[in-house]
Amino acid sequence: MVGSMTTVPDGLVAVVKHDCPTCTLVEPVLRQLAGAGPLTVVSQDDPDFPGGLPVVDDRELEVSWRLRIETVPTLLRLAGGTETGRVEGWLRGAWEAFTGVRDLGDGLPEHRPGCGSRSVEWGVEEELDRRYGGRVLAARRVELADLEDDVEAVFARGWSDGLPCVPPTEERVLRMLAGTRRAPDEVVAVVPPDLVECTVEKVAVNAVLAGCLPEHLPVVLAAVEAACRDEFALHGVLATTWSAGPVLVVGGPVTARLRMNSGVNVLGQGDRANATIGRALQLVVRNVGGGRPGEVDRATLGNPGKVGWCLAEAEDGRRPFPLLSEARGVPGSALTVFAGSGLVPVLDQASRTPESLARTLALVLRTVGHPKAALAMDALVVLSPEHGRVFRDAGWDRERLLAELDPLLVLQPDELRRGSMGIAEGMPAGLDDRPLPKFRPGGLLLAYAGGPAGMFSAVVPGWVSGATGSSPVTVPIEEA
Instruction: List, run by run, the mean pLDDT of 10-residue segments along the chain (480 residues).
Output: 59 96 96 94 96 92 95 96 95 96 94 95 83 81 90 95 95 92 96 97 98 98 98 96 97 97 96 98 97 94 97 94 97 97 97 98 97 96 98 97 98 95 94 95 97 97 93 93
| Strand partners of residue 55 | 41
| Domains in the chain with CATH codes | 11-132 (3.40.30.10), 170-476 (no CATH)
The secondary structure of residue 297, as a DSSP letter, is B
Q: What is the pLDDT of residue 5?
A: 45
The secondary structure of residue 307, as a DSSP letter, is G
Q: What is the pLDDT of residue 130?
A: 78
d(C-alpha 55, C-alpha 39), whole Å: 9
44: CB partners within 8 A, 6+ apart: 15, 16, 17, 58, 59, 61, 64, 72, 117, 118, 119
3-class DSSP state for residue 325?
A: helix
Q: Give the closest residue to 63 by CA, choosing from 21, 9, 126, 122.
A: 9
Cis peptide bond upstream of 472, omega within 30: no
Q: What is the pLDDT of residue 136?
A: 74
Q: What is the pLDDT of residue 97?
A: 97
Instruction: Report the Cα 100 to chain-centroid distance in Å.
Output: 46
Q: What is the pLDDT of residue 2?
A: 39
Which stretches of 2-76 are DSSP H helices? Answer: 21-25, 27-36, 62-66
**How many CB atoms are closer than 10 A to CB 183?**
12
Q: What is the pLDDT of residue 235?
A: 97
Q: What is the pLDDT of residue 467?
A: 87
Q: What is the 3-state secondary structure (H, E, C) of 387-455?
A: HHHHHHHCCCCHHHHHHHHHHHCEECHHHHECCHHHCCCCECCCCCCCCEECCCCCCEEEEECCCCCCC
- Provide the whole-model pTM: 0.82
d(C-alpha 247, C-alpha 267), whole Å: 10
